[in-house]
Amino acid sequence: MQDLSELPGQRRLRVVTESPARLAGKAWAFRHAVERDATMRFGRLARRLERIGTPAPLVKMAEQASKDESKHMGYCGELAEKYGAPLLEEPLVPSEIAPSELRPRQRVLYELAATCVAETESTHMLLTLLGGAKKGAMRALLREFSRDEVTHARMGWAVLASHKSSDDLSFLATWIPYMLATTAGDSFAPHQRGSEDPSLFDHGVLPFSVRKQVFVQALEDVIFPGLEALGVDSAPSRAWLTKALGG
C-alpha cells in the first residue's frame, strides 16, 4: 500500500497496489478450483458421451483428461501454497452449465462445445505464457500443462466431429454467444482493469490486456473456423465479439 503526500487542503490518498506474487497466489488458488471442477466435469462428460454413442477411444480420452486435470489441480494447489494463498471452497459436484431449454442430448453437446472453447483458449493462454516466462521451473510446468491442454482441445473437437453425421450441431450457433458471455464476459467489461506488470509472466500469470488479446486470437484463429467446419454458423458469435470489443 502506497501513501501519497497530503497536499494542503486535500485528504491523504491511499493507493492499493498488489504485488505480482500476491496476484499470482490468487490466480493459482483460483486455478486449483477450476482444475478440480474440470476433473469432475471430464469424468462426468465421459459417462455422458458413452451414453450418446461416442466412439470408445474418444470416451477413453475424456477419462484421461479427467486424470490430467487432477494432476494439474495438485500442481496449482502446491503453487497457491507456495505463494501463501488460501485455496477456495469448491462444490463437490460440478454445476450444470448447459441451458435448461435444451434437450438432454443437446445439453451434452453444448457442454462438449464449451469444453472445446475452454481448452482451446487455455492452450493459447499457456503457449503465450510459455513465450513470455523466463524462469526454468515455471517454463517446465507451463510446457506440461500446454501439452495436456492441446490433447484435451483436440479431443473435444474430435468428439464434436464424430457426432456431425448423427446430430444436428447447428443449434449451437444460437448458444455460443451465451456461452462466451458467461465464461469470458468479464474480460471485455469496460470497467474491469487488472495488472499489466510484465513480470507476471514469470509467475505463470498473463497481464490483464494480454489475457483478452489471447482470448480474441483463440476465437478468430481456431474456435470460429472450427465451428464453421462442423456446420455451426459463427455469425452470431462473431457479432457478440464485435459488440464486446466495442465495435
Tell me the per-residue pLDDT of 179-230, one tens digit each, with 9 for 90 and over: 998 877 667 766 567 788 999 999 999 998 899 899 999 999 999 999 999 9
Least confident of 1-5, 35-39, 93-97: 1-5
Q: Is residue 98 part of a domain?
A: yes
Q: What's the predicted TM-score (pTM) here?
A: 0.88
CATH (domain of 149): 1.20.1260
Q: Which residues of 103-136 are buried (b: 16+ CB within 10 A; e: fewer)?
A: eeebbbbbbbbbbbbbbbbbbbbbebbbebbeee
Segment 59-77 mean pLDDT = 98
| Structural contact between residues 209 and 185, judged by C-beta atoms closer than 8 angstroms | no
Give the model's confidence band at 177: pLDDT under 50 very low, under 70 low, under 90 confident, else very high. very high
Q: Is residue 85 a part of any domain in this protein? A: yes
Confidence at residue 15, expressed as pLDDT on a 0 to 100 scale: 37
With contact defined as beta carbons under 8 Å apart, do 94 and 111 qualify?
Answer: no
The runs of H, that is alpha helices, within 52-171 are 56-82, 104-132, 136-162
User: Across the strands, what pairs with 2?
Assistant: 15
The whole-angstrom separation of Cα 54 and Cα 160 is: 9
Instruction: Give the domain extent around 117.
Output: 18-244
Q: What is the pLDDT of residue 9?
A: 45
Is 106 a domain residue? yes
| pLDDT one-digit tens code per residue, 10-30 | 444 443 468 999 999 999 999
Lowest mean pLDDT among 81-85, 91-95, 132-136, 168-172: 91-95
> C-alpha cell of 174?
444460437
Residue 4 lies in a domain: no
For residue 189, what pLDDT is reported?
67
| 8 falls within a domain | no
Averaged confidence pLDDT in the chain: 90
pLDDT of residue 138: 96
| Residue 192 located in a structural domain | yes
Q: What is the pLDDT of residue 136?
A: 92
Domain assignment of residue 1, yes or no: no
Q: What is the pLDDT of residue 131?
A: 94
5 domain-assigned: no
Number of domains forming the structure of the chain: 1
